[in-house]
Amino acid sequence: MIVTTGGYVTKNCNLWKGVVEMGIKGREIVDMDVNGLVNLLNKALADEWLAYYQYWIGARVVKGPMRGAVVVELEEHAGDELRHAGMLVDRIMQLGGTPILKPEDWYKLTNCGYDAPEDPSIESILKQNIKGEQCAIDAYNNLLKLTMHKDLITYNIILEIVRDEVEHEDDLQTLLDDLEMH
């Protein structure tokens, strides 16, 4: 059976009570504590939701020179963070886990926290989001080290996400550098 979930095609899945989870062999090849991994993936999920909102609200309140270019970048990054959240939820459910169900739990589980854009200046918002991307890169790098050779499916998902986070940091730093040259 082939099931499409969140843009991913997952083979040999069982559909049970509306939940997509991996078959027995798919879980057996995960050579680590699956419950511990699900907890770490939920922490990353909390980060993605908070990052999504930080980008989304930042795009709406940001003020200053180059506002148009910054809004476009922040909105694009918000979309990427939401896509990452979907990837993590899909993997959590494949592993037989439950994703975070209540937004108030995001704050309890987050690795990186949330910086409210109380200062709507472009410089401040760019610096806040660069800080968030750097934290995400560190958190995902730790997950890569943990899953390497132990869970290649999760490893590849995390690798795709960390590539985006590195690109986001670079995009934001370039905008900040351009702002400082004006």
CATH of the domain at 91: 1.20.1260.10
What is the value of pTM for the model shown? 0.86
Check pLDDT > 50 for residue 17: no
Number of structural domains the chain divides into: 1
Secondary structure of residue 33 in the 3-state scheme: coil
The Cα-based distances of 133 to 20, 141, 163, 165 in angstroms read 30, 12, 11, 6
Check pLDDT > 50 for residue 87: yes
Assigned domain for 8 exists: no
Assigned domain for 14 exists: no
Assigned domain for 6 exists: no
Assigned domain for 11 exists: no
- Residue numbers of the domain that contains 155: 29-181
Say how far apart CA 9 and CA 177 lie, in whole Å: 40
pLDDT of residue 27: 78
CB 58 within 8 A of CB 129: yes
Q: How confident is the model at residue 15 (pLDDT cuts 50, 70, 90)?
A: very low
Assigned domain for 147 exists: yes
Assigned domain for 126 exists: yes
